[in-house]
């Protein structure tokens, strides 16, 4: 194995593509920042029980995908596989829910780790931007989050995504459904693993992607027919509010999602250009999670959007984000002009102009190549003779036109040209 090889299932973000990742994180978080969500940052690892209790022992995330480690002090930790449990833990620990004014609305952006079968769109280290609205049961909140995710994707220029929506019921109606489904699943011809899953978390069997399983699920009892009146009314209100906002969605009765903590509203954003790793984001209501991790009752809703897959979706749709060149002005210094131009570049930077300079003592040709590569609109070129005259040459990199500018006027002249 080469020393220069990143671990399996991981990749580096390098320029220029890395700029797209920053822009995507920015675009996804902008609607949240504009809607009362405050920024939260939690550690990259947590005590392992947070996830085993919160996300659920029977989920793939906890049973197969979690990176766990024992510290030298004997603590059992896990690299975070998802954001919701950590954010809720942080809100509880920081007593944000007691400061008055529920819901507590938070957004986050960061790295997540899952030991998965690495393939296109499925990595062992990936990045999400997420939002959580903690401590309120209100269909408008579920609708708000769906609408904001739609706004985020649209602001990026994505078009070929679909929103799948379902209700998973609550602690009144889901247990009744669960039993009915279990009775049905017991009559099927399933492998050992799936039989076990049917006993621990039967809803997740509905999510099984295998044809052999899906075939047998025809005629399975559907949750829709078991929803209690409160859940039905709640779901209708969410649907009505999302529809009124002009956001189109599809009802998907089979959408269960892989986490144990979801109740009522559950949704997923899928993109049709991504092959089998089609989910670009997902979320839902998790009214019981706070109690599961030892907190008070705090009905909540949230989502997480995958940054990696969003970038792949943009590439699949051929959407190029409008990312301005990193450098506006590039200085090319010859001979004794280097310290003078270096000083000008510093001044430009302090004045807010993106500026860079050629390093390494290159000649005119090499330094001009650097200027071209930087994508700068203008070059500042100066040699000994320019300095004697007290000027630098301001070169328009598009037209090639070059004008001498007095040293004292450079910053103003550049700013005027860029304005």
Residue with tokens 């203008």: 378
CB of 24 to ligand ATP, least distance (A): 12
249 binds ligand ATP (CB under 6 A): no
3-state SS record for the chain:
CCCCCCCCCCCCCCCCHHHHHHHHHHHHHHHHHCCCCEECCCCCEEEHHHHHHHHHCCCHHHHCCCCEEECCCCCEEEECCCCHHHHHHHHHHCCHHHCCCCCEEEEEEEEEECCCCCECCECCEEEEEEEEEECCCCHHHHHHHHHHHHHHHHHHCCCCEEEEEEECCCCCCHHHHHHHHHHHHHCCCCCHHHHHHHHHCCHHHHCCCCHHHHHHCCCCCCHHHHCCHHHHHHHHHHHHHHHHCCCCCEECCCCCCCCCCCEEEEEEEEECCCCCCCEEEEEEECCCHHHHCCCCCCCEEEEEEEHHHHHHHHHHHCCCCCCCCCCCEEEEECHHHHHHHHHHHHHHHHCCCCEEECCCCCCHHHHHHHHHHHCCCEEEEECHHHHHHCEEEEEECCCCCEEEEEHHHHHHHHHHHHC
Q: Closest CB to ligand ATP belongs to which residue?
A: 306
CB of 55 to ligand ATP, least distance (A): 9
279 binds ligand ATP (CB under 6 A): yes
157 binds ligand ATP (CB under 6 A): no
List the interface residues with ligand ATP, window 165-204 (CB under 6 A): none
260 binds ligand ATP (CB under 6 A): no
The two three-digit tokens of residue 54, written as one number: 């919160």
CB of 109 to ligand ATP, least distance (A): 12
Q: Produce one character per residue of 173-185: b if its CB has 16 or more CB atoms within 10 Å, e if not.
A: bbeebbebbeebb
> Contact with ligand ATP (CB under 6 A): which of 258, 273, 295, 383?
258
Of the pair 282, 299, the CB lying nearest ligand ATP is at 282
List the interface residues with ligand ATP, window 70-109 (CB under 6 A): 82
Of the pair 258, 273, the CB lying nearest ligand ATP is at 258
Of the pair 122, 224, the CB lying nearest ligand ATP is at 122
10 binds ligand ATP (CB under 6 A): no
> Contact with ligand ATP (CB under 6 A): which of 103, 135, 202, 282?
282
Contact 389, 379 (CB under 8 A): no
The count of residues interacting with ligand ATP (CB under 6 A) is 18
List the interface residues with ligand ATP, window 112-131 (CB under 6 A): 114, 116, 122-123, 126, 128
CA angle 35, 39, 40 (to 5 degrees): 135
CB of 122 to ligand ATP, least distance (A): 4
281 binds ligand ATP (CB under 6 A): yes
Which residues are CB-neighbours of 179 under 8 A, at least 6 positions away?
none
CB of 258 to ligand ATP, least distance (A): 5
Piece of 183-191, 274-282, 292-300, 371-379 that binds ligand ATP (CB under 6 A) = 274-282
280 binds ligand ATP (CB under 6 A): yes
Of the pair 293, 304, the CB lying nearest ligand ATP is at 304
What is the rounded CA–CA span in Å between residue 357 and residue 363?
A: 13
CB of 274 to ligand ATP, least distance (A): 9
Of the pair 152, 279, the CB lying nearest ligand ATP is at 279
CB of 308 to ligand ATP, least distance (A): 5
Of the pair 164, 280, the CB lying nearest ligand ATP is at 280
306 binds ligand ATP (CB under 6 A): yes
Of the pair 306, 387, the CB lying nearest ligand ATP is at 306
162 binds ligand ATP (CB under 6 A): no
153 binds ligand ATP (CB under 6 A): no
CB of 81 to ligand ATP, least distance (A): 8
- In the complex, the residues that contact ligand ATP under the rule CB under 6 A are 82, 114, 116, 122-123, 126, 128, 257-258, 277, 279-282, 304, 306, 308-309
């Amino acid at each position: 194995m080469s020393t220069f090889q990143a671990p399996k299932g991981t990749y580096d973000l390098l320029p220029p593509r890395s700029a797209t990742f920053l822009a995507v994180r920015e675009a996804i978080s902008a609607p949240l920042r504009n809607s009362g969500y405050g920024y939260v940052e939690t550690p990259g690892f947590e005590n392992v029980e947070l996830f085993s209790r919160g996300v659920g022992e029977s989920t793939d995330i906890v049973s197969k995908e979690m990176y766990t480690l024992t510290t030298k002090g004997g603590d059992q930790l896990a690299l975070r596989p998802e954001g919701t449990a950590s954010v809720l833990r942080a809100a509880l620990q920081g007593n944000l829910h007691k400061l008055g004014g529920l819901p507590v609305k938070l957004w986050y952006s960061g790295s997540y780790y899952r030991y998965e079968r690495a393939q296109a769109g499925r990595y062992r280290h990936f990045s999400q931007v997420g939002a959580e609205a903690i401590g309120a049961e209100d269909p408008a909140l579920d609708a708000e989050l769906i609408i904001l995710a739609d706004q985020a994707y649209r602001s990026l220029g994505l078009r070929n995504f679909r929103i799948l929506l379902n209700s998973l019921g609550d602690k009144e109606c889901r247990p009744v459904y669960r039993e009915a489904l279990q009775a049905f699943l017991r009559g099927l011809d399933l492998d050992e693993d799936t039989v076990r899953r049917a006993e621990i978390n039967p809803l997740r069997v509905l999510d099984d992607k295998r044809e052999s399983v899906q075939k047998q699920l025809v005629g399975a009892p559907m949750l829709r027919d078991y929803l209690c009146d409160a859940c039905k009314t709640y779901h209708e209100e969410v649907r009505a509010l999302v529809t009124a906002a002009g956001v189109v969605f599809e009802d998907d009765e089979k959408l269960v999602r892989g986490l144990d903590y979801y109740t009522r509203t559950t949704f997923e954003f899928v993109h049709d250009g991504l092959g089998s790793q089609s989910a670009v984001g997902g979320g839902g209501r998790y009214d019981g999670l706070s109690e599961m991790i030892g907190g008070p009752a705090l009905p909540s809703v949230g989502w997480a959007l995958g940054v990696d897959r969003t970038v792949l979706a943009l590439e699949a749709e051929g959407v190029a984000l409008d990312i301005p060149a990193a450098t506006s002005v590039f200085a090319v210094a010859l001979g004794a002009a280097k310290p003078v131009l270096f000083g000008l570049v510093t001044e430009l930077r302090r004045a807010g102009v993106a500026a860079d300079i050629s390093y390494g003592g290159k000649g005119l040709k090499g330094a001009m190549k650097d200027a071209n590569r930087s994508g700068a609109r203008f070059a500042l070129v100066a040699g000994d003779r320019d300095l004697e005259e007290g000027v630098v040459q301001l070169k328009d990199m598009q037209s090639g036109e070059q004008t001498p500018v007095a040293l004292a006027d450079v910053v103003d002249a550049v700013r005027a040209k860029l304005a």
